[in-house]
């Protein structure tokens, strides 16, 4: 048998001849192998508390740190993980500081590590629409249990009044089928939108979808990894709808399709914090009575007052939405930097 000795062991032995402290330790340990400070001599190598002692040789120390950080066994680990790997086997004065400086200056780590800081850049809210159902946002809720053959919900929200339509869809669906559902449930009631905000679902990025709305004069706006909040409104409506369905069909989850119209009625008639009233009121100018009586007809209104009220109907949501956006922006920008 012939024992193997790593190359770096010989390199470490060679540094002993150039380091004054190493020479003193070798002379002392030659007389007494284990001294009172915890140093001992093992096959020509100086050890401190059973760890290999490395003299103050920058090249040797850097080579050891590089091996335990940038090699396959190091895997460009962080400061703490790299320190524990080295500290378990080696010892020298200033080990932790040298290792921290090396890891911080590692170019590969700077390029590859993920960001743990707050989002860069201040919050940039989307512009407030000019009127109802001119700018929409849409998204899918998938993974639902089959109900009457349906297992997907297409959620379409008006960015101005916050009104929503919930459309049941069957798998598998295509871009033409979704376009037909949008026409049959939204466009026939509210007209052609100017813009549609969505994520980058394969349906919304398909050639058919883009060409269709390009010919109709609708601009498609997609969210991105750098601005995921673009489609945040629809994601929030999705959460509200999912919560409602979980509560209502808790015992019979496969009956959600029969309650989807009721869920849409619930959402559109509920108070919305950004508007200050319900989406239904923002769209039609009055609240639902819920069977307690019709609209108040007791007050006499002149024609001028009625016309002025109709003109103000689009101004009130803008004021409320602008106030809500500013409030959210101020809160979000506290933890961000420009």
CATH of the domain at 33: 1.10.340.70
Q: Is 77 in the same domain as 174?
A: no
Q: Is residue 245 part of a domain?
A: yes
Q: Is 105 in the same domain as 155?
A: no
| Angle, CA 97 vertex, CA 58 and CA 44 arms, to 5° | 45
Q: Is 174 in the same domain as 84?
A: no
Q: Is 183 in the same domain as 55?
A: no
Domain that includes residue 223, residue range: 135-288
- Percent share of the chain, pLDDT over 90: 22
**Residues 6 or more apart in contact with residue 123 via CB below 8 angstroms:** 229, 328, 329, 332, 333, 336
Q: Is 94 in the same domain as 191?
A: no
Q: Is 64 in the same domain as 142?
A: no
Please give the tally of structural domains in the chain. 2
Q: Is residue 335 part of a domain?
A: no
Digitized pLDDT (tens) for each residue of the chain, 338 residues in all? 787 777 878 888 888 888 888 888 888 888 777 777 788 888 788 888 888 888 888 888 898 898 888 887 778 888 888 888 888 888 888 999 998 999 888 888 887 766 666 666 776 777 788 888 999 999 999 989 999 999 999 999 998 888 999 999 998 899 999 999 999 999 999 999 999 998 888 899 899 999 999 999 999 988 776 565 566 777 888 888 888 888 888 778 889 999 899 889 888 888 877 777 888 888 888 877 555 444 444 445 566 765 665 555 555 556 655 676 677 777 777 777 77
Q: Is 152 in the same domain as 26?
A: no
Q: Is 152 in the same domain as 87?
A: no
Q: Is 74 in the same domain as 151?
A: no
Q: Is residue 311 part of a domain?
A: no
CA distance 301 to 307: 10
Q: Is residue 218 part of a domain?
A: yes
pLDDT digits (tens, 9 = 90+) for 289-328: 555 444 444 445 566 765 665 555 555 556 655 676 677 7
CATH code of residue 196: 3.30.420.10
Say if CB 192 and CB 217 are below 8 A apart.
yes
The SS3 call for residue 223 is: coil
Q: Is residue 309 part of a domain?
A: no
Last residue of a domain, one of 263, 288, 313: 288
Q: Is 99 in the same domain as 241?
A: no
CA distance 182 to 260: 16
Backbone angles phi, psi at 223, to 5 degrees: -75, 165
| Angle, CA 171 vertex, CA 198 and CA 180 arms, to 5° | 60
Q: Is residue 332 part of a domain?
A: no
Q: Is 145 in the same domain as 218?
A: yes
**Residues 6 or more apart in contact with residue 103 via CB below 8 angstroms:** 69, 78, 79, 82, 109
Q: Is 147 in the same domain as 284?
A: yes
Q: Is residue 324 part of a domain?
A: no
Q: Is residue 169 part of a domain?
A: yes
């Amino acid at each position: 048998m012939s024992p193997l000795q790593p190359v770096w062991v010989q390199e470490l032995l060679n540094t002993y001849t150039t380091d004054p402290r190493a020479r003193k330790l070798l002379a002392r340990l030659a007389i007494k192998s284990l001294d009172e400070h915890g140093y001992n001599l093992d096959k020509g190598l100086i050890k401190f508390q059973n760890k290999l002692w490395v003299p103050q040789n920058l090249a040797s120390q850097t080579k050891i740190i590089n091996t335990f950080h940038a090699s396959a066994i190091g895997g460009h680990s962080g400061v703490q993980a790299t320190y524990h790997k080295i500290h378990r086997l080696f010892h020298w004065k200033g080990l932790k500081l040298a290792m921290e400086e090396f890891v911080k200056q590692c170019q590969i780590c700077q390029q590859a590590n993920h960001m743990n800081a707050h989002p860069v850049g201040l919050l940039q809210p989307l512009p407030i629409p000019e009127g109802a159902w001119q700018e929409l946002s849409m998204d899918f809720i998938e993974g639902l249990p089959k109900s009457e053959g349906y297992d997907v919900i297409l959620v379409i929200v008006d960015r101005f009044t916050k009104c929503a339509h919930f459309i049941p869809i069957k798998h598998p669906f295509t871009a033409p089928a979704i376009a037909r559902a949008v026409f049959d449930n939204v466009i026939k009631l509210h007209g052609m939108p100017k813009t549609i905000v969505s994520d980058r679902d394969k349906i919304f990025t398909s050639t058919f979808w883009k060409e269709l709305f390009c010919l109709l004069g609708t601009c498609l706006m997609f969210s991105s990894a750098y601005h995921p909040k673009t489609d945040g409104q629809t994601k929030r409506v999705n959460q509200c709808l999912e919560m409602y369905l979980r509560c209502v069909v808790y015992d019979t989850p496969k009956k959600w399709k029969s309650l989807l119209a009721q869920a849409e009625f619930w959402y559109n008639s509920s108070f919305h914090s950004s508007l200050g009233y319900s989406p239904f009121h923002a769209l039609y100018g009055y609240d639902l009575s819920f069977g307690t009586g019709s609209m108040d007809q007791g007050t006499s209104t002149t024609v001028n007052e009625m016309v002025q009220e109709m003109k103000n109907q689009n101004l009130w949501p803008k004021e409320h939405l602008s106030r809500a956006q500013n409030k959210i922006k101020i809160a979000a920008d506290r933890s961000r930097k420009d």
